[in-house]
Amino acid sequence: MATPIAGAIAAYANAAKSTGAGIAPREQGGGFGDLLKQSLESSVNAVKEGETQSMKALDGKADIGTVVNAVSNAELTLQTVTAVRDRVISAYQTIMQMPI
C-alpha cells in the first residue's frame, strides 16, 4: 500500500497530465482561473465516477477491483482538494494580517 504522500504526488502528476498543468504562455488562452476550473471539474468527475461505480456494484454490474479503484481515487481527490483549500485559506489569512 502506498503512503498518502506518494498517492498525493501520483494524483497531482495525473491531474497535471490530464489538465496540461504547468506554466503556460498567455497566448494559449490559459490562465490561473482556467487551470483552477479544469482542476475542480476533474475533481468533481473523479468523485462522480466513484459514486457511479459504487452504484453499479450495488446492482452487481461492476467488478470489485474497479469499484475499489474508483472509490480510492475519489477519496484521494477529496483529500487533495481539502488540503489545497486549507492552504489557500491559510495564505489568505496571512495576507490579511500583513501590515499595510
| Assigned domain for 96 exists | no
Domain that holds residue 51: 32-89
Confirm whether 60 is domain-assigned. yes
**Residue 99 located in a structural domain:** no
Is the pLDDT reported for residue 32 higher than 50? yes
Residue 100 has pLDDT above 60, yes or no: yes
In contact, 67 and 59? CB cutoff 8 Å: no
* Domain count for the chain: 1
Indicate whether 74 belongs to any domain: yes
Q: Is residue 11, in this structure, part of any structural domain at all?
A: no
Q: Which of 53, 43, 31 is nearest to 75 (CA)?
A: 43
CA distance 67 to 72: 8
Output the pLDDT for position 23.
46
Binned at pLDDT 50, 70 and 90, residue 8 comes out as low
The per-residue pLDDT for 83 is: 93
Grid coordinates representing 76 are 484521494
| pLDDT of the residue at 25 | 47
Query: What cell was used for 55?
Result: 452504484
Cell of 73: 481515487
pLDDT of residue 17: 67
- Least confident span in 13-22, 60-69, 89-98: 13-22
Whether residue 94 lies inside any domain: the answer is no
What's the mean pLDDT when you consider all of the chain? Answer: 81
DSSP structural state of residue 96: H
* Residue 38 in this model has a pLDDT that exceeds 60: yes
The answer to the question of residue 20 being in a domain is no
